[in-house]
């Protein structure tokens, strides 16, 4: 089945992987070898090995005696194994990565001289690593957390890294506080709990004590904290960088990546269950989509502000706890990234890839964003403890353009450099610097003037901590607000020190009284009576994720469960499978058993999974084909009824044909007002994870939004 799906989707493929011409993939071939060959095993120093099963020891036919330390082959294997682990990343330890490319379709030469952003004929190889922040390397994918979105562009002018997140703002303004926020969110030091959760005293204590974190925690508690897929979330560079054009002029810039499939999230209940049912859900989802030819794509855009306009905003444009509202500074979309090749081996690629915010190219420069300035120190530094000083020679990290420097030695040095010139200047005039010519040559920092006073401070503009937290909350739809409220209730309920949840409720009272009252009720804090800071009710576009539904509704790459049992109707079953494939989505047959299931006409199919093997949470949608006997069997199985009811509770599209409708009706009968779609038209109108059994409601993004609004009471009570 999986192979059929892959072929089907590939045949339909609307995108060309361009793998053969990807310069980075070609570069990695230098270090890639195939282990599935008949080549004999050797030791690490190359001799062939005669026995891989026994340690050299004294032995005769009756008994075995002492092991011999002499066995250099056994010792080499154990030594090698003992040192396989390297320190995991101090944050963002759990991640998944893939290769792809960046294509520019509109030149940005008015604002930058970087050819990767001006030359529309170029295709630039990229590697992206997505991650969670809090959990360890072995933690679950679907937990509530910020997601990392780190992009390495292998440009002809050197590597350029945008080390971003799926949320456009950050918890703190100054990087000196980074160890505190990370200590506070990570497991508490006495018992090392909780894992991959922000729902604990230390985190909420920290964010209360840092009012500047309010905006970011509102984002993290919104549905952005539980993405449906890495492929369905936005990416933001977060920090303010600069772009420099050929005339030497500067603009400030923020980078954006917006997914072609739209922004979609799990409901909290789904995310919670999936963390147990399949901790690798996001990792597998990325792999599965790329493997099936459904290549994830994002539009790449920039927001720019001219130097002379930098002071015209209420906030400081260098403050990473603030967005630049899109109504004030529109996003200019100029290119596209696509991921089209999975990694060959996780460790040398996804684990050893190392990003640095300081990796910029001529035409891009930093700003005085205090968070960015600190990050520029931290990333290089952390790679040294993780990978050693020669980490930039590792295959995944080395640039595709020539590298020449005076580096020598250090642990794990690979390059062998001929000649005597290991310093500059030298008598051979070897490896001179490149003059900066206005077009990209040698990197030169943009010249700026700075205040003369040396002080530990920020200016008063940085102390407005609440306006954008209010702006964000005001801009959400009702259902998003409800989800955010529920998330805060869950998190604060996990805090057992009253000072923590009571104080946090007072902070919420500065954002929205109703929100604060609801949370107080659920978490056991005193109910606040009045809003303590005025909320002027401003809204902005680009904050609600409903502003990022796909331009064309699509079910491409969505996973659809088809429930059958013996006696199913092969016509409706085959029909739905074909229709799903025709939409480049993935059908999975689920039955009470995994052995062949017989149709009423005598044909049969082997299911992909049995009911308990893959629960409804693993799918975006459920369909029940016709077949009297099949449906009767399913109706008699509690888990089958629960499958449909749980999907309904998670607002997934549910479709049924013929007798299949009975199962759907039985399963969701307690939710009055929802009609069950029947007939072939149901599929045609299935768009997205949040839809209804009413086909006409689900036919457009607007319909989806309306439906979500309609359904809010049901979700609220779920």
**Annotated catalytic sites, by residue?**
92, 165
Rounded CA gap, 622 and 611, in Å? 12
What minimum distance in Å lies between the beta carbon of 253 and ligand HDD?
A: 14
- Rounded Cα–Cα distance for residues 619 and 644 (Å): 11
Distance CA 138, CA 94 (A): 7
Q: Which is nearer to ligand HDD, 163 or 707 (CB)?
A: 163
The least distance separating ligand HDD from the CB of residue 169, rounded to whole angstroms, comes to 8
Using CB under 6 A, which of 17, 25, 28, 95 touches ligand HDD? 95
Judged by CB under 6 A, which of 123, 378, 422, 477 binds ligand HDD? 378
Choices 91-99, 227-235, 552-560, 663-671; region in contact with ligand HDD by CB under 6 A: 91-99
Tell me the CA distances in angstroms from 553 to 428, 536, 652, one per residue in order: 63, 35, 15
Q: Given the complex with ligand HDD, which of 113 and 302 has the nearer CB atom?
A: 302
The binder of ligand HDD chosen from 134, 175, 222, 621 (CB under 6 A): 175
Long-range CB pairs of 283-288, under 8 A, 24+ apart, other chains included: 283/96, 283/141, 285/229, 285/230, 285/231, 286/96, 286/98, 286/130, 286/229, 286/230, 286/231, 286/339, 286/342, 287/96, 287/98, 287/342, 288/557, 288/586
Report the Cα–Cα distance between both ends of the chain, in Å, rounded. Answer: 34
Cis peptide before 194 (omega within 30 of 0): yes
Starting at the earlier edge strand, list the strands of the sheet with 609-610.
609-610, 586-591, 559-563, 621-624, 653-656
**Cα–Cα distance for residue pair 442/404, rounded to 1 Å:** 13
Q: Which range touches ligand HDD (CB under 6 A), out of 38-46, 269-277, 374-382, 661-669? A: 374-382
Neighbours of 184 (CB within 10 A): 22
The 3-class secondary structure across 291-315, one letter per residue, is HCCCCCEEEEEEEEEEHHHCCCCCC
What the block records as the tokens of 665 is: 């009706």
Per CB under 6 A, which region of 87-95, 224-232, 440-448, 492-500 contacts ligand HDD?
87-95
Site for ligand HDD in 306-345 (CB under 6 A): 320
Do residues 94 and 386 make contact, with C-beta atoms less than 8 angstroms apart?
no
Considering the complex, state which of residue 164 and residue 259 has its C-beta at the smaller distance from ligand HDD: 164
Site string for ligand HDD, 8-27 (x = CB under 6 A): --------------------
Give me the 135-174 binding string for ligand HDD, x by CB under 6 A, dash otherwise.
Answer: -------------x-x------------xxx----x----
Cβ partners under 8 Å of residue 231, min gap 6:
259, 261, 285, 286, 289, 296, 557
Question: Least distance from C-beta 38 to ligand HDD, angstroms?
Answer: 37
Cis peptide before 425 (omega within 30 of 0): yes
| Residue list 123-142, contact with ligand HDD (CB under 6 A) | 129, 131
> Which part of the chain contacts ligand HDD (CB under 6 A), choosing from 86-94, 116-124, 670-678, 694-702?
86-94
**Number of residues forming the site for ligand HDD (CB under 6 A):** 26
Q: Which SS3 state, helix, strand or coil, does residue 125 take?
A: strand
Strand duo 123-132 + 147-155: pairing = antiparallel
Q: CB-wise, 90 or 571, nearer to ligand HDD? A: 90
Both tokens assigned to 433: 């610097």
Tell me which residue of 105, 89, 200 sits closest to 143, measured CA to CA: 200
User: Cβ closer to ligand HDD: 320 or 508?
Assistant: 320
Q: Which is nearer to ligand HDD, 91 or 622 (CB)?
A: 91
Q: How far is the CB of 237 from ligand HDD (least distance, A)?
A: 8
- The contact mask relative to ligand HDD for 30-59 (x = CB under 6 A, - = no) is ------------------------------
| List 382, 426, 535, 574, residue binding ligand HDD (CB under 6 A) | 382
Cβ proximity to ligand HDD, 90 vs 430, nearer residue: 90
Q: State which residue, 99 or 494, has the beta carbon closest to ligand HDD.
A: 99
Query: What radius of gyration, in Å, describes the C-alpha atoms of the chain?
Result: 28
Q: Contact between 92 and ligand HDD (CB under 6 A)?
A: yes
Q: Which of 152, 451, 517, 100 is nearest to 286 (CA)?
A: 100
Cα(417)–Cα(425) distance, rounded to whole angstroms?
17
State which of residues 224, 264, 375, 581 lies at the interface with ligand HDD (CB under 6 A): 375
Cβ 559 to ligand HDD shortest distance, Å: 26
Q: Which residues pair with 333 in a beta bridge?
A: 301
CB of 166: closest distance to ligand HDD in angstroms?
Answer: 9
Closest separation between CB of residue 349 and ligand HDD, Å?
Answer: 12
Q: Binding ligand HDD by CB under 6 A: which of 55, 313, 379, 443?
A: 379
Report the residue number, 163 or 635, with the smaller CB distance to ligand HDD. 163
Is residue 217 exposed (0-12), middle (13-18) or buried (19+ Cβ within 10 Å)?
A: buried
- How far apart CA 457 and CA 434 sit, in angstroms, is 37
Contact 476, 543 (CB under 8 A): yes
Cβ within 8 Å of residue 329, ≥6 positions away: 303, 304, 305
Q: Indicate which single residue of 371, 505, 624, 661 sits in contact with ligand HDD (rule: CB under 6 A).
A: 371
Q: Which is nearer to ligand HDD, 185 or 492 (CB)?
A: 185
296 or 688, CB closer to ligand HDD? 296
Q: Nearest approach, Cβ of 571 to ligand HDD (angstroms)? A: 48
CB of 236 to ligand HDD, least distance (A): 7
Q: Are strands 64-67 and 95-104 parallel, antiparallel or unpaired?
A: unpaired
Output the residue with the shortest Cβ distance to ligand HDD.
Answer: 148
- Going by the DSSP 8-state scheme, the letter that residue 400 receives in this structure is S
- Give the residue with the Cβ less far from ligand HDD, 163 or 515: 163
Residue 180 C-beta: closest distance to ligand HDD, Å? 11
What mask of x and - would describe binding to ligand HDD in positions 395 to 414, judged by CB under 6 A?
A: --------------------
Residue among 5, 25, 74, 91 that touches ligand HDD (CB under 6 A): 91
User: Nearest approach, Cβ of 240 to ligand HDD (angstroms)?
Assistant: 10
Residue whose CB is less far from ligand HDD, 355 or 546: 355
Q: Which residue stretch of 293-301, 308-316, 375-383, 551-559 sits at the interface with ligand HDD (rule: CB under 6 A)?
A: 375-383
3-state secondary structure of 257: strand
Quote the least distance from Cβ 177 to ligand HDD, whole Å.
Answer: 8
The answer to whether residues 314 and 536 touch, using CB atoms and an 8 Å cutoff, is: no
User: Restricting to residues 226-255, which ones interact with ligand HDD according to CB under 6 A?
Assistant: 238-239
List 268, 300, 355, 568, residue binding ligand HDD (CB under 6 A): 355
**Sites of contact with ligand HDD (CB under 6 A):** 89-92, 95, 129, 131, 148, 150, 163-165, 170, 175, 178, 238-239, 320, 354-355, 371, 374-375, 378-379, 382
């Amino acid at each position: 089945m999986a192979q059929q799906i892959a072929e089907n989707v590939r045949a339909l493929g609307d995108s060309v992987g361009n793998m053969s011409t990807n310069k980075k993939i070609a570069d990695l071939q230098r270090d890639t070898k195939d282990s599935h060959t008949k080549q004999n095993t050797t030791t690490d120093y190359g001799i062939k090995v005669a026995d891989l099963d026994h340690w050299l020891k004294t032995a005769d036919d009756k008994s075995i005696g002492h092991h011999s330390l002499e066995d250099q082959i056994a010792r080499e294997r154990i030594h090698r194994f003992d040192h396989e682990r390297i320190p995991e990343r101090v944050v963002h330890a759990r991640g998944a990565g893939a290769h792809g490319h960046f294509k520019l379709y509109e030149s940005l030469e008015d604002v930058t001289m970087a050819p990767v952003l001006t030359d529309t004929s170029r295709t630039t190889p990229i590697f992206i690593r997505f991650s969670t922040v809090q959990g360890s390397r072995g933690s679950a994918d679907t937990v509530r957390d910020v997601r990392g979105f780190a992009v390495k562009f292998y440009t002809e002018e050197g590597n350029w890294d945008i080390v971003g997140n799926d949320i456009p703002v950050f918890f703190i303004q100054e990087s000196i506080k980074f160890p505190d926020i990370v200590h506070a969110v990570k497991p508490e030091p006495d018992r090392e709990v909780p894992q991959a959760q922000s729902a604990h005293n230390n985190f909420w204590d920290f964010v209360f004590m840092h009012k500047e974190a309010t905006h970011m925690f509102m984002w993290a508690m919104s549905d952005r904290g539980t993405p449906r897929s890495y492929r369905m979330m936005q990416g933001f560079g977060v920090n303010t960088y600069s772009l420099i054009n050929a005339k030497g002029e500067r603009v400030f810039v923020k980078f954006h990546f917006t997914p072609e499939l739209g922004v979609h999230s799990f409901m909290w209940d789904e995310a919670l269950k999936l963390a147990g049912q399949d901790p690798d859900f996001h990792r597998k989802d990325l792999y599965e989509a790329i493997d099936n030819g459904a290549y994830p794509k994002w539009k790449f855009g920039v927001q720019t502000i001219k130097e002379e306009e930098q002071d015209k905003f209420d906030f400081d444009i260098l403050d990473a706890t603030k967005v630049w509202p899109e109504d004030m500074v529109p996003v200019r979309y100029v290119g596209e990234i696509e991921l089209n090749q999975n990694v060959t081996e996780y460790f040398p690629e996804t684990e050893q890839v190392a990003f640095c915010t300081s990796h910029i190219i001529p035409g891009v420069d930093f700003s005085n964003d205090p968070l960015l300035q600190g990050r520029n120190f931290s990333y290089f530094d952390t790679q040294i403890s993780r990978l050693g000083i020669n980490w930039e020679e590792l295959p995944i990290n080395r640039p595709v353009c020539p590298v020449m420097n005076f580096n020598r030695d250090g642990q794990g040095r690979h390059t062998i450099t001929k000649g005597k010139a290991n310093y500059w200047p030298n008598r051979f005039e070897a490896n001179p610097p490149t003059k900066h010519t206005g077009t990209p040559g040698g990197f030169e920092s943009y010249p700026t003037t700075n205040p003369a006073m040396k002080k530990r401070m920020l200016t008063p503009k940085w102390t407005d901590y609440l306006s954008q937290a209010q702006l964000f909350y005001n801009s959400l739809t009702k259902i998003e607000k409800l989800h955010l409220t529920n998330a805060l209730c869950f998190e604060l309920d996990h805090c057992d020190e009253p000072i923590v949840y009571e104080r946090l409720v007072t902070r919420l009272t500065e954002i929205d009284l109703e929100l604060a009252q609801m949370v107080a009720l659920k978490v056991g804090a005193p109910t606040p009576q009045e809003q303590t800071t005025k909320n002027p009710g401003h809204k902005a576009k680009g904050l609600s994720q409903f502003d990022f539904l796909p331009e064309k509704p699509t079910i491409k790459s969505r996973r659809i469960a088809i429930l059958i049992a013996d006696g199913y109707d092969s016509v409706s079953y085959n029909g739905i499978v074909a229709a799903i494939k025709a939409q480049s989505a993935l059908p999975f047959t689920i039955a009470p058993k995994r052995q062949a299931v017989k149709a009423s006409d005598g044909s049969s199919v082997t299911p992909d999974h049995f009911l308990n093997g893959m629960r409804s949470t693993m799918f975006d949608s459920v369909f029940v084909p016709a077949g009297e006997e099949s449906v009767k069997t399913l109706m008699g199985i509690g888990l089958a009824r629960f499958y449909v009811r749980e999907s309904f509770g998670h607002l997934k599209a549910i479709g049924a044909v013929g007798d299949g409708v009975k199962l759907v009706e039985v399963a969701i009968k307690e939710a009055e007002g929802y009609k069950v779609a029947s007939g072939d038209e149901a599929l045609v109108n299935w768009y997205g994870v949040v839809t209804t059994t009413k086909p006409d409601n689900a036919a457009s993004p607007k319909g989806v939004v309306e439906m979500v609004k309609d359904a809010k009471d049901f979700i609220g009570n779920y």
